[in-house]
């Protein structure tokens, strides 16, 4: 019941944030970040109305996604993708949100063409210099986007970012705004629509929605504190 109540509370906040920003709530999807969660917790979130799920690690997804194949949900990879895991990732996921380098694009295209599958992808952009975070720099995005667009089996749909954790969600706002500005200018330069902005987590998703998020990735606020 806890999970259902949490999801309901989040959806209410999504609607309110959309109201403040003059946006249509239909434009914003809640993705449940389900790392460390069990299949039964994931089923509960699905029953409560969550349609998108995100996993961080390919190995964990290999154990979990096949066990949940009866659920009509979308699986997103939201963690760093190592090149040697691409052969598994292309089979498991519907969307890869963390494309951040050309070598990864090459490997994805190779494996996807073998499978005969087209993958929806986002480019992960790193907006702060912290060395621990993955993602391409804002300066590299255009070149990487053009590289992705040239591949037959990749469909570029937007951008994703993991900003630094800052206590006050208002302090994260400039990062969300920056990702939207990068997206807007990229759309102009490339002349194609890039509808998705995946940004915002449990403690700052309302601000992210005010700045244009179409996918908010929420773990703790749905499932409670993570147990490792």
Ligand X SMILES: *Cc1c(COP(=O)(O)O)cnc(C)c1O
> Judged by CB under 6 A, does residue 36 bind ligand X?
no
Q: Which residue's Cβ has the minimum distance to ligand X?
A: 219
Span near ligand X by CB under 6 A; candidates 81-89, 114-122, 175-183, 219-227: 219-227
Scanning residues 75 to 94, which ones bind ligand X (CB under 6 A)? 78-79
Contact residue for ligand X among 162, 172, 197, 209 (CB under 6 A): 162
If binding is defined by CB under 6 A, does position 214 make contact with ligand X?
no
- Report if residue 23 touches ligand X, rule: CB under 6 A: no
- Give the one residue of 11, 13, 35, 91 binding ligand X; rule: CB under 6 A: 35
Site for ligand X in 168-207 (CB under 6 A): 201-202
Q: Which parts of 92-151 interact with ligand X (CB under 6 A)?
A: none
Burial 59-68 (b: 16+ CB within 10 A, else e): eebeebbeeb
**Inter-CA distances, 21 with 25, 58, 90, 97, 101, Å:** 10, 36, 36, 25, 33
Answer yes or no: are the C-beta atoms of 86 and 108 closer than 8 Å.
yes
State the minimum distance, in angstroms, from the CB of residue 10 to ligand X: 10
Q: Least Å distance between CB 78 and ligand X?
A: 4
| Distance (Å, whole) CA 16 – CA 23 | 10
Three-class SS of 143-186: HHHHHHHCCCCEEEEEEECCCCCCCCHHHHHHHHHHHHHHHHHH
Number of residues that bind ligand X (CB under 6 A): 13
CB of 111 to ligand X, least distance (A): 22
- Pattern of binders to ligand X over 54-73, x per CB under 6 A? --x-----------------
CA nearest to 93, candidates 119, 63, 114? 119
Determine if 217 is a binding residue for ligand X (CB under 6 A): yes
Residues 63, 170, 220, 224: which binds ligand X (CB under 6 A)?
A: 220
Cα 31 to Cα 201: distance, rounded to the nearest angstrom: 9
Beta carbon nearer to ligand X, 106 or 169: 169
Point out which residues bind ligand X (CB under 6 A).
Answer: 33, 35, 56, 78-79, 162, 201-202, 217-221
């Amino acid at each position: 019941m806890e999970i259902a109540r949490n999801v309901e509370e989040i959806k209410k906040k999504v609607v309110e944030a959309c109201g403040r920003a003059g946006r249509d709530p239909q434009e914003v999807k809640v993705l449940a970040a389900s790392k460390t969660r069990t299949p039964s917790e994931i089923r509960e979130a699905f029953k409560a109305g969550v349609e998108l799920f995100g996993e961080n690690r390919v190995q964990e997804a290999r154990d979990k996604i096949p066990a949940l194949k009866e659920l009509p949900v979308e699986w997103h990879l939201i963690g760093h993708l190592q090149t040697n895991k691409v052969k598994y990732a292309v089979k498991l996921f519907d969307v890869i949100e963390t494309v951040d380098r050309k070598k990864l694009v090459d490997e994805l295209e190779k494996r996807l063409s073998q499978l005969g599958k087209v993958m929806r992808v986002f480019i992960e952009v790193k907006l702060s210099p912290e060395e621990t975070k993955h993602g391409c720099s804002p300066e590299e995005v255009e070149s990487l986007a053009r590289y992705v667009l040239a591949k037959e089996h990749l469909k570029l749909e937007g951008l994703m970012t993991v900003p630094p954790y800052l206590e006050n969600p208002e302090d994260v706002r400039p990062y969300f705004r920056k990702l939207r500005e990068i997206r807007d200018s990229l759309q102009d330069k490339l002349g194609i629509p890039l509808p998705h902005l995946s940004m915002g987590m449990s403690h700052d998703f309302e601000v992210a929605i005010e700045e244009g998020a179409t996918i908010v990735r929420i773990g703790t606020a749905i499932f409670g504190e993570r147990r490792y």
